[in-house]
């Protein structure tokens, strides 16, 4: 199975700053079948990005995804107060589907 490693584990930033989250795969993710989710306490994950770089419906354009092969990045251009949460990457190019362990974006 493909193991996804997210870094850093925790990112401490201030509102208005840029956040860069990394997701590295143990083998190439076919067809860039990689997604990103945001999760807040007590809530289900919210899809942000699919296909490595396509924004899901209703997602603000401050969220962007990039990458291919084994290295992927989620960028939040300017953090809003509601963006402080845990973020997960997920690959769905090969079975079993796997998720990264998460990156927590916290207020500095």
Applying CB under 8 A, does 95 fall inside the site for other proteins?
yes
Applying CB under 8 A, does 88 fall inside the site for other proteins?
yes
Residue pair 7/24 in contact (Cβ under 8 Å)? The answer is yes
Q: Can you tell me which of 50, 65, 69, 105 binds other proteins, judged by CB under 8 A?
A: 50
Applying CB under 8 A, does 97 fall inside the site for other proteins?
yes
Applying CB under 8 A, does 92 fall inside the site for other proteins?
yes
- CA dist 82 and 92 (Å) reads 27
- CA dist 35 and 26 (Å) reads 16
- Per-residue burial over 95-104, b = 16 or more CB atoms within 10 Å of its CB, e = otherwise: eeebebebbe
Least Cβ distance, residue 35 to other proteins (angstroms): 4
Q: Which residues form the interface with other proteins (CB under 8 A)? A: 1, 33, 35, 37, 43-45, 47, 50-51, 56-57, 88, 90, 92, 95-102
């Amino acid at each position: 199975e493909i193991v996804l490693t997210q870094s850093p584990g925790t990112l401490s930033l201030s509102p208005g700053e840029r956040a860069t989250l990394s997701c590295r795969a143990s083998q190439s993710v076919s067809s860039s079948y990689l997604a990103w989710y945001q999760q807040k306490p007590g809530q289900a994950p919210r899809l942000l990005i699919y296909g490595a770089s396509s924004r899901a419906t209703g997602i603000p354009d401050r969220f962007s995804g990039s990458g291919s092969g084994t290295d992927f990045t989620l960028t939040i251009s300017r953090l809003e107060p509601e963006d402080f949460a845990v973020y997960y990457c997920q690959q769905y190019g090969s079975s079993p589907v796997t998720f990264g362990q998460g990156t927590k974006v916290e207020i500095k």
